[in-house]
Amino acid sequence: MAMHNVITIFRKEVATFLNSLIGYLVISVFLTGVGLFFWVFPQNVIESTYASMEPLFTFGPLFFLFLVPAITMRAFSDEIRTGTIELLMTKPLTDWEIIMGKYLATAFLVLFSLLPTLIYYFTVYWLGNPVGNIDTGATVGAYIGLFFLGCIFGAIGMFSSALSSNQIVAFILGVFLCFFFFLGFDFLADIPAMEGINRWLLSLSINEHYQSISRGVIDTRDALYFLTFVCIALIATKISLAEKRGG
């Protein structure tokens, strides 16, 4: 894999997203929504009896369910629709270079969306009584968990985008798959008939591993789960692209 090809695609994807109105609109909706739950809606940080970033890490994943598929919906679907995917595949690029360039751009945009929320941390830090009365270690762990979550949603979103030439279909499919893998196994584990395998079902749940990391402890099992999930989703994307190349 030639890194300069990956970097070129990465730069192109980031520039395309940041140069579009919808890119800033999507990020603004995310930050506004999280901000409302953080500062305005009931159980916000002002009403809390202790300094905490909990509203961000509780509601952030729900907004990510829509933010990340909105970032990835054009990754392949737009190129499939316009036919530029065929032109891209005729260039001296491997499928993995295309996939990794686009995926790293998605991961960067997830991080870019999270960076403005650091102002919440510094605000809560100074609002604490005494000042600085916030568990910084747990907050860092939760941020890592939220970033990992965005990376998984990004891989799922890219796979969804590779399946359809319609951006809206790719977006809806991405939201559905992200929601299913995030909370679907939790719902299945709560069904009485699943009592014998509920522990196994929970081990497949993204939310279960996200909650584990959000406690501030980075367990290698959770990190391995996120890495494995991303790899599987990207391999599925590779298979979809290979079929289109073959076609």
Specify the pLDDT at position 236. 95
Domain extent, residue 52, equals 3-246
Sign of CA dihedral 73, 74, 77, 78: positive
- State the CB neighbour count (10 A cutoff) for residue 17: 23
Tokens representing 137 are 């270690």
Give Cβ neighbours of residue 81 (< 8 Å, ≥ 6 apart).
165, 166, 167
CB 124 within 8 A of CB 53: yes
CB 13 within 8 A of CB 99: no
Specify the pLDDT at position 87. 66
CB 213 within 8 A of CB 145: yes
Specify the pLDDT at position 128. 67
Beta strands in 132-238 (DSSP E): none
Specify the pLDDT at position 39. 74
Tokens representing 94 are 């491997």
- C-alpha distance across the termini of the chain, in Å: 23
Specify the pLDDT at position 112. 93
DSSP string, 14-34: HHHHHTSHHHHHHHHHHHHHH
CB 38 within 8 A of CB 56: yes
CB 81 within 8 A of CB 166: yes
Q: What's the total number of domains in the chain?
A: 1
Q: What is the pTM of this model?
A: 0.89
Pick out the chain residues at pLDDT < 70: 1, 41-51, 83-91, 128-129, 131-132, 244-247
Give Cβ neighbours of residue 37 (< 8 Å, ≥ 6 apart).
44, 55, 56, 58, 59
Specify the pLDDT at position 132. 65
CB 95 within 8 A of CB 238: yes
